[in-house]
Structure 1
Amino acid sequence: MPFTLATWNINSVRLRAGLVQKLLAEEAPDVLCLQECKSPVEKIPFELFAEMGYGYWAARGQKGYNGVAILSRMPLQDAGHIDWCGKGDARHVAATLENGVTIHNCYIPAGGDVADREVNEKFGHKLDTLTEMRDHFGANQPEKSILVGDLNIAPREDDVWSHKQLLKVVSHTPIEVEHLGNAQHAGGWVDVTRADTPEGQLYSWWSYRARDWDAADKGRRLDHIWASGDIAGAAHGSRVLRAARGWEQPSDHAPVFASFDL
C-alpha cells in the first residue's frame, strides 16, 4: 500500500486551519502529522479536515502550548503516547495504519536561548527528552515504524546556513547533535530525507525575524522523517515544500514529505 506522509510544525492549528486545508487540497498527502498545534484536542477543527477526506486522526493537546496530531485519509488506530520527562506535555502521539505501520509524531522542546543546562532549564529539558527517546527506542526496537516531527535540531553542517556561526546556537550545538544522533542510533532509525538527498544545503525552518526570509535564506533543517531499518528502503520522493513558508500568515516551518512503497 503506497502512501505519502508529510510532517509540519503548524504553529497553531486553529489559527492556520486554512493553511492545513490548502496543503491537503494542493498536495494531498495520505497522512499529515502536525506539531505545535497549541490547542486542546476537543478544539482542533477536525471536522474541516474530515470534509476533505481526512476523517481519521489521533492527537494529544493542551491549551496554548505544544500539541501533536496525525490526520489521515486511511484508517488508523490510536497507539498511545509517551509522556517524555513526565511533564504532561503533549509532545508525542502514535498511530498504526491498517498496513501495520506505526507512526510516531514528536515535538522535541526547542531548548530556549542558552545552550547550558546549568543556567537554562529548558535546555536541560531538551537533552533529557532526547535521552528518554534514546532509552525508549533502544529498549523497544522499532519495526515497521516511522518517526516524524519537529525535532528542533539541525544535525548536519549542511542542515544550517552557517555551521561555523551556529555552533553555539541552540539547535545546532555539538551536545544537541550528539544527543539526537544517540537517539537515532539506539532505535536503528534511518534519516529518510538525507537518504534521498545525501548532499547539499537543506532547510525546513526560516525565522520570522528575517525581513525577507527567502532572499536571506538563513534556514535550518529542524523537521525530520525517520524510518525503522526494515522499511527505510521503501522510502523515496523526499522533499521540503519551501513555498509554504511564503503563504499568507505562514508557520515559520515548511512541510516535509516522503513516500513509502509498502
Structure 2
Amino acid sequence: MTRTSIASWNINSVRARIGIVEKFLREEAPDILCLQETKVECTLFPPDMFKRLGYDHIVTHGQRMHHGVAIVSKVPLTDIRKYDWQANGEARHVGVTLPSGVRLDNVYIPAGGDIPDRELNPKFGQKLDFFGRMTEWSGALNGTPTVLTGDFNVAPLESDVWNHKALLDVVSHTPIEVETLARLQAASNWIDLGRHFIPAPERLYTWWSYRAKDWEASNRGRRLDHMWVTPDLMPKAVSHRIVQPARSWERPSDHIPLITEFDF
C-alpha cells in the first residue's frame, strides 16, 4: 500500500494554459492528473512539460478545439477505455486501471446549453441522456473499485451554489439535473468525496464565471467538479481539497483543481 494522490482539473485548453498546469504540478506534485476540456487532438497534445516533471504515462482522448480529456501519471496506466456516452463521437471520457487494480474514470459531462428543457434545447436532452448511459455503466461495475472524477457540470446541493433560489432554473442546478445526478450516484452507491471531507452546509465551489469583474469579491461560484469513489475505496481516501488560488493565476481556467490522497 502506498500513498497516491489524484488531481482533477477542467483546464479549458491545455495548450493555452500549459504554464499554469506546470505551476500546479510543480507546487502540488500529484501522482496523477485528470484533465477535462483539453481542446486538442490526441496527436497535438503537448507531452514535453509533463515528461520533464516525471509524468511519463499519458493517455488522451481529444478532438480539435472542443471537449477532450486526458490522464497524465507518474505511475503506469493500463486497460485504456474511451466510452461514447453521448453517442455522437465527442471526446468526453477516458478510463484506465492503476497498478493497484483501481479503476480511474475521467469524464467531461456536457454543460447542457442555456435552457433547461429538452424540447426547446436539444443540448439539455443530450446532457440528460449522457447521464442515463453513465448510470447504466455504473450499475454494471459489479464491485470493481473505481474512482470517478471530472467536470460533472451539476452543482447538486444548496451549498454548492452561491444562491440556491436564484439558480433553480439555471442549467447546472435545476431539480431535474440534481435528480439525474442522484440516480447516477445511487447506481453504485458512489461516495462524494468533496462532501465527505467538507460536509454541507459549508460552501464549496470549484467554478467561477469569467463574466465577473472580480470573481473573488462576488464569489458567485458553483461546485461543478467532483471526485467520487465506490464504497470499497472510501476507507482508503485520506484527504480531499480544492486549490482555490489557481483561479487567480495568470490566464486562469474558470475551474480549479481538486486533489484527493489515497492509500492503495
1:256 partner letter = L
Tell me, in whole angstroms, the C-alpha distance in 1 between the residues paired with 2:49 and 2:155: 33
Match of 1:251 in 2: 253
Match of 1:230 in 2: 232
Match of 1:106 in 2: 107
Bigger shift: residues 227-236 or 20-29: 227-236
Measure how far apart 1:78 and its partner are. 4.2
SS of equivalent residue, structure 1 residue 85: coil
Match of 2:40 in 1: 39
Asked whether the equivalents of residues 134 and 182 of structure 1 are also in contact (C-alpha less than 8 Å), the reply is yes
SS of equivalent residue, structure 1 residue 65: coil
SS of equivalent residue, structure 2 residue 240: strand
Asked whether the equivalents of residues 141 and 188 of structure 1 are also in contact (C-alpha less than 8 Å), the reply is no
SS of equivalent residue, structure 2 residue 232: coil
Identity of matched residues, %? 51
SS of equivalent residue, structure 1 residue 86: coil
Match of 1:28 in 2: 29
Match of 1:83 in 2: 84
Which ranges of structure 1 fall in alignment gaps of 5 or more residues? none
Structure 1-normalised TM-score? 0.98
Match of 2:95 in 1: 94
Measure how far apart 1:141 and its partner are. 3.2
* Pairing 1:204–2:203 present: no
Asked whether the equivalents of residues 40 and 61 of structure 1 are also in contact (C-alpha less than 8 Å), the reply is yes
Measure how far apart 1:140 and its partner are. 2.6
Tell me, in whole angstroms, the C-alpha distance in 2 between the residues paired with 1:180 and 1:203: 17
Measure how far apart 1:246 and its partner are. 0.3
Match of 2:70 in 1: 69
Tell me, in whole angstroms, the C-alpha distance in 1 between the residues paired with 2:255 and 2:79: 26
1:133 partner letter = M
Match of 1:179 in 2: 180
Measure how far apart 1:230 and its partner are. 0.6
SS of equivalent residue, structure 2 residue 178: helix
Asked whether the equivalents of residues 38 and 66 of structure 1 are also in contact (C-alpha less than 8 Å), the reply is yes
Measure how far apart 1:136 and its partner are. 1.2
SS of equivalent residue, structure 2 residue 24: helix
Tell me, in whole angstroms, the C-alpha distance in 1 between the residues paired with 2:17 and 2:58: 18
Asked whether the equivalents of residues 6 and 33 of structure 1 are also in contact (C-alpha less than 8 Å), the reply is yes
Match of 2:221 in 1: 219
* Pairing 1:12–2:8 present: no
Q: Deviations over 1:63-96 (max 9, x none)?
A: 0111000010111114211111311110000011
1:43 partner letter = L
Asked whether the equivalents of residues 10 and 16 of structure 1 are also in contact (C-alpha less than 8 Å), the reply is yes
Moved over 4 A (4+): none
Tell me, in whole angstroms, the C-alpha distance in 2 between the residues paired with 1:126 and 1:46: 31
SS of equivalent residue, structure 2 residue 166: helix
Measure how far apart 1:137 and its partner are. 1.1
**What number of residue pairs does the alignment pair up?**
262
1:25 partner letter = R
Which ranges of structure 2 fall in alignment gaps of 5 or more residues? none
SS of equivalent residue, structure 1 residue 58: strand
SS of equivalent residue, structure 2 residue 86: helix
